[in-house]
Structure 1
């Protein structure tokens, strides 16, 4: 309760700003982190990412990293799952562990008075998880329940099928959670191997924000992470894009079809990324002013929502979108998406659209820095994307520098209407698989 109160209060104690003062910290043991000090309240947020994530799963053990991550907090050292939970709650600390395709994320929040004890407890979870048989079966059951739910959800099915078609046998081509068959077959030995593969010092990114100095953070990092394995498993290779333009229909008894669409995207470090980012926001970035939202929802009422996004992942780049529409209207909606893709590729955007989007993107950016937790998360993301430490103070200038000519030039090569692939899960009228 104390930690939640402190977290709530800090939102009001700290000014909302993007010009945060970031320190580059290196621990005595050589672990690097970024830090934003803020001593208004005795509270610190720590964010750790281990690059690799569920894409490190070896062949035949899909879902191992996901299951392992779910077990980290289920007992460690001499504490079983209940003992660990009691120790964490007694410290008013908060820990979370989340896997994704490219990383395992660890978030921790603790009060200054409990910093040392919270660090020791988190270290126990990271370095010495127990992986007790009872905990494995309980968490395995939770994963299997989630997979069973996903198998009945058209939106989840559309994402799974799109990934399979786009990336084939690469880990990106299958669910990070695994399949029911692969999860049931996972052994404790494979879970232990996944822990050693994913949580290692050669892939750590760390940030902290709050009531801690650079010297204190350096000591904490060595204490927390110094005993992890020096090296983890090799990263997977490049995920080659395998699917061409067209439509795949997955028959599913539902009155509303779920649609996932996209094609290859752009790297985060491409010089044209910012024009592409602005272009995507105008085309379908999720706001009510986007072209797709206007044409598909506002003018025709074909969907409750439609959005597009750039996804520059570690081993592939995507430009993706999604929407749901009644079976009788999904064909019309797909046609509008294709037409708006063609129009933007041929014409670019208008001066009015560009000006409004710049205003929104630059005005909303500082609002992301609304507390220690979000700040620490942003700083880790910056490191993983190899952005400079002054990025928060220069980012809006990069948005402002985007011109109409930039957007038109990028739209002409990035947007590929004929390469758009649509996965439709439902019973759409007038839509058939063509490949």
Structure 2
């Protein structure tokens, strides 16, 4: 359920050598970072809203420091648009967008990228199909042409479909014995029965073989459109050149997406423990409960609250209690996961099988303690200081800047959000924390999903729930 990180909380296919060569050339060029001037907020003054003659909008940071252009795009509507009986369509379709388009088959398309050191890739998340483009500025013309072909006329040739399908199936087979992946899948299935969020994003060993070329083409046709498109561009391209290029790349797309409505949902099974037995020495666990959506007025206080719970690798309460004091796990974390149709707080850890019950009890207790007693003034001040000071790290490369600008658009935070963000965090008070903790305390129960051979869980068994 991951999302791009903007105060929030894929299918793997075999990559031809040509892809790796292009990525390597772009990566070497990007070693010199496009860092904003200090402080990080000054980046906002460089953001320009570019609107093409045809009305397509992009946010641009024009920077000539490097001869490099980074573009991030998102089409809202991802895996949640999969047919109920065929999860994995969005993931497979996204993986195939750069595997042949227009008059170029997969090999010819990849050769074009390699010749010009262009990196272009796509993936799907629950709520969007994302694309990333990296190119030297001298090759921006060919790069934009390949982006146009990929989104407007993907081929989904039989050879490419079967090759990428087999890669996805191989990945799924590996995941069968990966405890952390299985715990996450089981958590979603239990939390969201009969809802798109409960289905496996990458599909299953049963569903992926049934996906047809027609399914892939239908998904692309209904999802890749102009009205659900967000674009961010960073680098050596002037706004007067980008505007017409937007129409060239995306003007042929349908004006409106044909998305299936997805209902808002709250997680089910709260207060229970789901167990899947796997013969491994450690138990992997995912836990989660009701959180907040990104547009909630209390989201920033909740973001600070979560940092104190499990958002920091070294200073969070879960880290101190679970790892430092008791040595139950090497790492433990929590984060807010604001999906388009559900607000969640999620976390995870792994521990010895014989200490699984103790770990579950401790996580529950620390979560409730923080919600009930709240933090100290010093704890709150430390959390805000860290979150403010680390914000600049999100802008130390052109790719990161583009990713941040894209997520700000998706979340509808406003083009001046970077200017305002640290002020919002700094303004959080103990009263704000108490207010948002009170909201979380209205239903503080957590759903745990455990994979391994956990001990000490009274009432919980294989595939069952218990307290």
Using the size of structure 2 for normalisation, the TM-score is 0.90
CA RMSD of aligned residues (A): 1.6
1:402 match: 428
Instruction: Could you tell me which runs of 5 or more consecutive residues in structure 2 were left unpaired when the two chains were aligned.
Output: 1-23
Residue 358 (str. 1) matches residue 358 (str. 2): no
1:123 match: 148
- The answer as to whether partners of 1:96 and 1:108 remain within 8 angstroms in 2 is yes
1:8 match: 31
CA distance 1:322–1:296, shift in 2 (3 Å): same
Residue 46 (str. 1) matches residue 96 (str. 2): no
SS in 2 for 1:33: strand
> Map of 1:176-191 to 2, 5 A cutoff?
176-191=201-216
CA apart distance, 1:11: 4.3
Output the CA distance in 1 between the equivalents of 2:270 and 2:430. Answer: 29
CA distance 1:413–1:12, shift in 2 (3 Å): closer
SS in 2 for 1:85: helix
Moved more, 32-41 or 236-245: 236-245
Output the CA distance in 1 between the equivalents of 2:231 and 2:106. Answer: 26
> Map of 1:74-85 to 2, 5 A cutoff?
74-85=99-110
> Map of 1:133-148 to 2, 5 A cutoff?
133-148=158-173
1:243 match: 269
Output the CA distance in 1 between the equivalents of 2:41 and 2:107. Answer: 40
CA apart distance, 1:244: 2.4
Output the CA distance in 1 between the equivalents of 2:441 and 2:129. Answer: 32
Counterpart pick for 2:358 among 319, 322, 332: 332
Deviation string, structure 1 residues 243-288 (Cα, Å, up to 9, x no partner): 2212111111111001111111112111111111100000111421
> Map of 1:267-416 to 2, 5 A cutoff?
267-415=293-441
- The answer as to whether partners of 1:200 and 1:230 remain within 8 angstroms in 2 is yes
Output the CA distance in 1 between the equivalents of 2:33 and 2:204. Answer: 42
Output the CA distance in 1 between the equivalents of 2:289 and 2:441. Answer: 8
SS in 1 for 2:357: helix
Counterpart pick for 1:155 among 169, 180, 185: 180
Deviation string, structure 1 residues 134-186 (Cα, Å, up to 9, x no partner): 11111110111111111111111111111111111111001111111111011
Output the CA distance in 1 between the equivalents of 2:375 and 2:435. Answer: 11
CA apart distance, 1:12: 7.0
SS in 1 for 2:283: strand
Output the CA distance in 2 between the equivalents of 1:326 and 1:416. Answer: 32
Residue 211 (str. 1) matches residue 236 (str. 2): yes
- The answer as to whether partners of 1:65 and 1:198 remain within 8 angstroms in 2 is no
CA apart distance, 1:199: 1.1
Counterpart pick for 2:121 among 90, 96, 103: 96
Structure 1 outlier segments of 4+, above 6 Å: 12-16
- The answer as to whether partners of 1:345 and 1:416 remain within 8 angstroms in 2 is no
Output the CA distance in 1 between the equivalents of 2:257 and 2:206. Answer: 26
Output the CA distance in 1 between the equivalents of 2:229 and 2:213. Answer: 24
Using the size of structure 1 for normalisation, the TM-score is 0.97
Deviation string, structure 1 residues 354-397 (Cα, Å, up to 9, x no partner): 11111110000012111211111100100000101111111001
2:284 match: 258
Instruction: Could you tell me which runs of 5 or more consecutive residues in structure 1 were left unpaired when the two chains were aligned.
Output: none
Output the CA distance in 2 between the equivalents of 1:221 and 1:61. Answer: 33
Output the CA distance in 1 between the equivalents of 2:110 and 2:344. Answer: 39
Output the CA distance in 2 between the equivalents of 1:247 and 1:13. Answer: 46
- The answer as to whether partners of 1:18 and 1:365 remain within 8 angstroms in 2 is no
**How many residue pairs get matched?**
435
